């Protein structure tokens, strides 16, 4: 007891030394608390965001797997070609994986390309990207002016469900109908003076003798320009493309059969949770999915992209924390060593009058622990209180830096596009490296299309990714990015526990230095060599 009492008295007696030590620990504590809070904020934001995220995923080609080759050697062109060939999964296969326990629901779309005999395609870039990336197979079937997309269910038409597009005239075709009915864009209707009830005659671009007629039952209009952009980027639903025609999948299948059109089918799986989404891939592989396929979700990718500034900040915070702890720990170590050196006379006297060196060490450790605990508590409280505004302030800088960085890379989408392993990036590679492979294009484009559809479900990511992905010179500046730019909570129980660990580590470092200092001194030598 007297050791503790004496330690407390010593803190009071040596105010300057105690304050100096306390200030250093306080600086370390407040820095550590902020860094840990930033990391906690990133983790919490990510976890909560993913929890609330409506996730749609697709089975896509795993470009990394294909590009990996065998025995660590890069694959040959023919190997890659082989990998891409017959890569499109059949509807039966896609449906098989929809039976897995992790899947909440499943829908699919089909796309094909056709020309029309009496109407003209809208040739302007109104579609904001939809023209080029109109849909699966479009590059291969570039002779078709129109993309006809068939939907398995109303659920697949998320743009309508989300209110990003609406029927302005007529009605939507009946779900699952085999009737050759469709909806067209208001632009196409206006451009060709089409109205509900009119019939459009389409022609197989590869064989003009094969024709089919489709009745217009409705005209749709975009209600959200940014989402329109977004849809255009991936193909799929292609709401941004005025030349897109929508109908039921059953009707499209019927047309494809009668007019000998190739239809690229792609499936979309929805998941109840992020965990289910993560589970799906392993389940699918266990169920027989080839290892060259992977599962991706644009919802998740988009959300992670939104988190990028926060993740960057979290990474910086981690390094800052490590540096701070190392430097702070070293400073404390040196300070303790100097302090022990300065107090060696005291150590000598205490040992000479019979105080065991272990007890002397304990007294010094109590002093260090008491000052450290007060400083850590103060640092922790102040750090916690300021964690949210500081995190948001730093996050704002990180967002700004990320935006300008991506802008410098050639457009708002530069960063995302440039990221290795990014699914969108993979698709670009896919497009370029395998332009003759319809299946691959189809599969990949499907991913984007349906992802893009579903991504509008997730928080506020609409438009952001469009800006990211779209042509930089067209979509403009960094302002189009939609990153997570604020957090509502930072410090939490985990941070508190981590702060306790930081405190214990600091006490351990300083305490060890104090103990080794005390142990090495010989009281007689100290007393006889005293000036």
Q: Residues in the site for another protein, rule: CB under 8 A?
A: 2, 6, 9-10, 13-14, 346, 348-357, 523-524, 527-528, 530
By beta-carbon proximity to another protein, the closer residue of 236 and 348 is 348
Shortest Cβ 527–another protein spacing (Å) = 6
Is 112 in contact with 273 (CB distance < 8 Å)?
no
Q: Could you tell me if residue 405 is left (phi over 0), alpha (psi between -120 and 50 degrees) or otherwise beta?
A: alpha
Shortest Cβ 524–another protein spacing (Å) = 4
DSSP symbols for 282-295 = HHHHHTT--TTEEE
Rounded CA-CA distance 70/79 in Å is 10
Task: Tell me what percent of the chain is helix, strand and coil, each rounded to the nearest 5.
Answer: 60, 15, 25
Shortest Cβ 18–another protein spacing (Å) = 12
By beta-carbon proximity to another protein, the closer residue of 353 and 493 is 353
Query: Radius of gyration (Cα) for the chain, nearest Å?
Result: 32
Shortest Cβ 355–another protein spacing (Å) = 5
CA 510 to chain centre: 41
By beta-carbon proximity to another protein, the closer residue of 207 and 522 is 522
By beta-carbon proximity to another protein, the closer residue of 207 and 342 is 342
By beta-carbon proximity to another protein, the closer residue of 21 and 271 is 21
CA angle in degrees (0–180, nearest 5) for 476-122-250: 105
The residues, any chain, with a CB within 8 Å of residue 523's CB and separated by 6 or more, are 347, 348, 349, 351, 352
Token couple for 411: 């457009």
Token couple for 250: 């059953």
By beta-carbon proximity to another protein, the closer residue of 136 and 523 is 523
By beta-carbon proximity to another protein, the closer residue of 11 and 63 is 11
Task: Give the CA distances from residue 421 to residues 5, 82, 296, in Å, rounded to whole numbers and listed in that order.
Answer: 61, 21, 11
Shortest Cβ 512–another protein spacing (Å) = 22
Shortest Cβ 518–another protein spacing (Å) = 13
Shortest Cβ 399–another protein spacing (Å) = 53
CA 25 to chain centre: 36
């Amino acid at each position: 007891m007297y050791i503790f009492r004496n330690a407390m008295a010593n803190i009071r007696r040596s105010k300057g030394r105690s304050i100096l030590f306390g200030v250093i620990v306080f600086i370390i504590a407040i820095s550590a608390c902020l860094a840990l809070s930033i990391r906690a904020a990133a983790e919490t934001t990510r976890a909560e965001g993913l929890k609330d995220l409506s996730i749609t995923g697709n089975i896509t080609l795993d470009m990394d797997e294909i590009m990996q080759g065998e025995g660590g050697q890069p694959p040959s062109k023919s190997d890659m070609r082989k990998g891409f060939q017959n890569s499109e999964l059949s509807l039966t296969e896609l449906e098989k994986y929809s039976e897995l326990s992790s899947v909440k629901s499943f829908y699919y779309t089909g796309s094909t390309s056709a020309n029309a005999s009496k109407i003209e395609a809208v040739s302007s870039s109104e579609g904001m990207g939809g023209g080029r990336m109109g849909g699966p197979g479009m590059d291969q079937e570039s002779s078709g002016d129109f993309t006809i997309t068939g939907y398995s269910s109303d659920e697949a038409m998320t743009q309508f469900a989300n209110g990003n597009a609406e029927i302005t005239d007529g009605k939507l075709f009946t779900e699952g109908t085999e009737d050759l009915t469709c909806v067209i864009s208001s632009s196409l209707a206006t451009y060709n003076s089409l109205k509900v009830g009119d019939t459009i005659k389409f022609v197989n671009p590869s064989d003009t003798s094969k024709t089919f007629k489709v009745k217009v039952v409705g005209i749709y209009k975009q209600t959200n320009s940014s989402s329109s952009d977004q849809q255009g980027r991936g193909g799929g639903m292609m709401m941004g493309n005025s030349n897109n025609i929508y109908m039921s999948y059953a009707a499209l299948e019927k047309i494809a059969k009668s007019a000998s059109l190739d239809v690229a089918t792609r499936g979309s799986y929805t998941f109840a949770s992020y965990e289910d989404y993560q589970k799906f891939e392993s389940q699918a592989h266990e169920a027989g999915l080839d290892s060259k396929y992977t599962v991706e979700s644009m919802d998740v990718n988009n959300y992670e992209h939104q988190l990028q500034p926060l993740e960057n900040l979290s990474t910086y915070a981690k390094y800052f924390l490590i540096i701070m702890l190392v430097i702070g720990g070293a400073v404390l170590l040196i300070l303790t060593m100097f302090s022990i050196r300065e107090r060696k006379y005291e150590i000598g006297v205490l040992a000479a009058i019979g105080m065991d060196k272990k007890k002397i060490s304990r007294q010094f450790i109590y002093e260090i622990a008491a000052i450290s605990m007060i400083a850590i508590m103060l640092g922790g409280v102040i750090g916690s209180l300021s964690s949210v505004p500081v995190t948001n302030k730093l996050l704002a800088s990180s967002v700004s830096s990320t935006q300008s960085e991506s802008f410098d890379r050639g457009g708002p989408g530069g960063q995302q596009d440039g990221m290795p392993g990014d699914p969108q990036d993979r698709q670009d590679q896919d497009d370029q490296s395998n332009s003759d492979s319809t299946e691959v294009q189809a599969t990949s484009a499907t991913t984007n299309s349906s992802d893009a559809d579903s991504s509008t479900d997730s928080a506020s990511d609409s438009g952001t990714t469009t800006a990211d992905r779209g042509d930089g010179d067209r979509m403009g500046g960094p302002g189009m990015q939609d990153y997570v730019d604020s957090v509502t909570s930072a410090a939490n129980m985990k941070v508190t526990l981590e702060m306790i660990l930081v405190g214990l580590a600091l006490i351990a470092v300083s305490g060890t230095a104090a103990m080794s200092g005390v142990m090495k001194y010989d009281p007689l030598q100290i007393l006889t060599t005293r000036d």
